[in-house]
Structure 1
């Protein structure tokens, strides 16, 4: 038996809070890009070692996407969202003791807890936005909701630039010239710089968890999904969904990798640039990403989502090739510009993969969220290539990823039944 669906007015607070979730996980994701630069300095790490930040982060998504879908299916959206917010808050507050101990692996553990919470939030919020309203407008509706995500990413970079990186504004050459005792003090200061911002974030997220407990969400009993093909194994028989999961694996790998190493790319092309100054280019990338999200959502009223995805993926591919072939100013501008065309790719892939799933929607969503593990695997590969061949050569990884997204988009132009 399905619980009576509350009227639209009663669900408005839930929809507002759900849009805020897109902001919150955007902030968390892009603070990682700042942490990579900060930890590289504080713990004297190689590019591959800094990729552990993204590896453990997206491992949390991978491991907890299915449990999140199971909880959503059994208990509804509200318990999953509250659980996700509590885990997010717990992981953020763990940064305080991690900084006191000053050990890299403690920070990685805290990031893993945050990611586990985000797995619950994304597995719940994305299908919620596709389920409410006309199915034909799901891609456009999800893109509009995801417009809050780049606002969060900008907030994350701003917090990182001014409250984390800005506290230790020494470049590598300046630190290397310091006496050993002064170097140790600088490294310690870099570690402690993350304490305050993450503690505040943890308290804010805890406030959202309390608000979610008081808000009414649409809920469905588990019985609705039993006998309706709601098992995880059933989603493996949907070619469109499997293609979307594969495309999402590559897209997230490209997005995370590009933003993780933007600061590194700037510093390699302009020696002596501090992390705080290089972060301006990351901020510009995210600003273009936000503009692209609004522009892409508007274009989707005239251009079919799959066609627009194909166009944006093709341009992203070309721009990352420029970043590989022309390191320096031209490559940097191409790298920044690519973010505009990355903007619609995640939500559009997600919505195209969810088409026609019916009762499989929440379980199918978990498969696409699991594909976010691409952020761990491919960012690690970029770090390895950067250490071996230079940061410009590492841009071949996202270029290949965008080609995979392009192939999915071209195939997704056919109706779901034609690809099944």
Structure 2
């Protein structure tokens, strides 16, 4: 597959001599930041959607987290087809198709709410996640590779900060338009809904997903008409003969980076998905789901602040060292979450968002460091590893079996692997030619 930034059929590109400083790249980066914003926004709507669906369909924690597992299974299933699609029609058209697929899934969510149907809901969330996968396969390596290699982590953290802006605003959107307009979202935890109330609650998602679909279509039109700059020759793919002499698996930073992404996603998604249910408990904050959904904004706000700060810090400090410090911080606050109660436990769980902030973009850029012409293939494997979020169902099972609070010990264990990767696993073993 040719590099994502190379000229493609039907795509207009503008070469830049200094892509990190050039005006064409700067404006393109701003436009791509809107994609990061939207897929962050839509992904985090799930955090308010899940407690909503738990109430509507009377689900246990395992069934609730299975919904999110279906979302992340889409990353595993759709990553390779996404790469093939980019090879066939070009990255710019693929971005447009990804946005339209997401819009179709959002419209399908309106159908699922009208029925209502748990099965159709799962299917439409899979469709939306497949569209996001296509965007991820194209946009993450594009931002990481275009520009100076030594500032790749800083650059991707900066754009991912816009992703966090979307995740910060989504809980307010979901809390007001989904939980705030439903009986289950405004009632205390022990209230049992009647069938009529469950039907009314299910239909409360029609308006928010209609609004999301409209924005996605508009953004697709804008991306289709915008001339994106080329990535240049740094990652241009080799001929099959030359490629046979190189191996991805000789690069320690990639080999250990793939499980690092996989394991980190278990931690991030587990915290986000179970946050509302956790802080709603009587011995933690004793809030309604609507009120807890508003506090979720602080979790994602911490991620946005952390990414802006991390982007600035990594201009001068080694990315691996910064990642190590943040992973230790995440481990400590997760222990506080597990072994305390009341506001201390709630705010500790909120604070983990700050420490999680730089992990995905930093692991990603450390993982592709030194791959040269293998960058494209390595990027695809790292994006596929986002499927680790599907294993949040394991935390759901732990919550059912051993208690919701104790289930966050799994999150703490995930932070330790990230620490290992930062200190040793991320060191590149060789440079690809």
TM-score, normalising length: structure 2:
0.89
1:284, 1:221 → 2: CA distance? 39
For the 8 Å contact 2:96–2:220, the answer to whether it is kept is yes
Partner of 2:195: 184
Within a 5 Å distance, the mapping from 1:12-411 to structure 2 comes to 12-168=26-182, 169-173=185-189, 175-176=191-192, 183-218=194-229, 224-227=236-239, 234-268=247-281, 269-270=283-284, 273-377=287-391, 379-411=392-424
Shift of 1:77: 2.1
Gaps of 5+ in 1: none
Q: Aligned partners of 2:103 and 2:311: how far apart in 1?
A: 31
Retained in 2: the 8 A contact 1:61–1:369? yes
Give the number of aligned pairs: 412
Which residue of 12, 15, 19 maps to 1:6? 15
- Which of the pair is proportionally richer in helix? 1
Using the alignment, how far apart are the partners of 2:85 and 2:161 within structure 1? 26
Between the aligned partners of 2:15 and 2:350, the Cα distance in structure 1 is: 44
Separation in 1 of the partners of 2:413 and 2:189?
34
Residues 38-89 of structure 1, C-alpha deviations (whole Å, 9 max, x = no match): 0011111001100122111001111111222233345432122112111111
3-state SS of paired residue (2:163): helix
- Provide the rounded CA distance (Å) in 2 between the counterparts of 1:92 and 1:413: 38
Instruction: Flag the 1:29–1:401 CA change in 2: closer, same or farther, 3 A.
Output: same
User: Which moved further from structure 2: 291-300 or 219-228?
Assistant: 219-228
- The CA distance in 1 between the partners of 2:384 and 2:150, in whole Å, is 25
Instruction: Provide the C-alpha distance between the structure 1 equivalents of 2:249 and 2:79, rounded to a whole number of angstroms.
Output: 15
Q: Does the C-alpha gap of structure 1 residues 263 and 290 become closer, same or farther in structure 2, counting only changes over 3 Å? A: same
- RMSD of aligned alpha carbons: 2.4
Q: What is the CA–CA distance in structure 2 between the aligned matches of 1:334 and 1:220, rounded to whole Å?
A: 41
Q: How far is 1:15 from its partner?
A: 2.3
Aligned mates of 1:18, 1:272 — CA distance in 2: 40
Preserved contact between residue 320 and residue 335 of structure 1 (Cα < 8 Å):
yes
Residue in 1 that maps onto 2:10: none
Distance 2:168 2:212 in 1: 15
- State whether residues 53 and 64 of structure 2, in contact with CA within 8 Å, keep that contact through their aligned partners in structure 1: yes
Task: State the distance in 2 between where 1:404 and 1:339 align.
Answer: 17
Larger deviation, residues 234-243 vs 158-167: 234-243
Q: Is the 8 A contact 2:306 2:358 kept in 1?
A: yes
Q: Distance in 1 between matches of 2:57 and 2:428?
A: 51
Check the 8 A contact 1:251/1:405 in 2, yes or no.
Answer: yes
SS in 2 for 1:26: helix
Change (3 A) 1:104 1:413: closer
Stretch deviating more after TM superposition (13-22 or 313-322)? 13-22
Structure 2 unaligned segments of length 5 or more: list them. Answer: 8-12, 17-21
State the distance in 2 between where 1:271 and 1:240 align: 41
Q: 1:12 to 1:402 in 2, by over 3 A?
A: same
Instruction: Rate the CA distance shift 1:270–1:131 in 2: closer, same or farther, 3 A.
Output: closer
Do the aligned partners of 1:319 and 1:338 also contact (CA within 8 Å) in 2?
yes
